[in-house]
Amino acid sequence: MDCFATLGLPRKANLEEETIRAAYHELSRKYHPDAAASAEEKAEFGERSAAINQARDTLLSPARRLKHLLELEGESVEATSSLSPELMDLFAKVGQAVQAAEQILKQKEAATSALGRALLMEKELRAQAGLQAALRDVTALSQTALAALPEVDAARDQDRKPAKALAARLSFLEKWQSQINEKLLALMSSQLA
């Protein structure tokens, strides 16, 4: 499936989120199963609606969008096993922050009294600060990577190597951002319990 064609968008790595969302909303209104006139049309609209949702999800993720674009152009995109020193350093920072948060969450879960949980508050705040610092670094590198999308579009016909490297970089950054946000949410939720 060509996600760009599904949403009626040009095959470009550099697409604005608003453009993707606008195309999605227009098509999802047009092909919503409840708008179908017959049972046959309802089934067809259901399939189209699923394809439209999948296209939106793929194109809203810059890493998945770039990977999809390269695959449409006949390139195999695999996760690269070598990370730049900058990403290796960030990988270590993210890993430490996530691990610290996991330890605090386990300790809070094991605490049997309100006093026991309260005594962990300082460690919990340090874990949150570590996660937030790692998230800032991931976000900064993500913004730098996203700024390279127009250059990748311009050079893609001549050399796809930079596009492949950027797809891998964005994939790592999106994964780490997701892990950090998951742990931050878990820490915040544990405070409410």
Sign of the dihedral through C-alpha 136, 142, 146, 152: positive
Q: Which residues of the chain have pLDDT under 50?
A: none
pLDDT at 125: 93
Q: Which residue has the tokens 């409840």?
A: 34
Q: What is the mean pLDDT of the chain?
A: 90
Written as six digits, the tokens of 102 are: 């996991």
Q: What is the set of domains in the chain, with CATH numbers?
A: 3-60 (1.10.287.110), 85-192 (1.10.132)
Q: What is the pLDDT of residue 190?
A: 80
φ/ψ of 108, rounded to 5, equals -65, -40
What pTM value is reported for the model?
A: 0.84
Contact 179, 101 (CB under 8 A): no
pLDDT of residue 79: 60
Place of tokens 């309802």: 42
Long-range Cβ pairs for the range 177-182 (8 Å, 24+): 177/135, 177/138, 177/139, 177/142, 179/94, 179/98, 180/94, 180/97, 180/98, 180/131, 180/134, 180/135, 180/138, 181/135
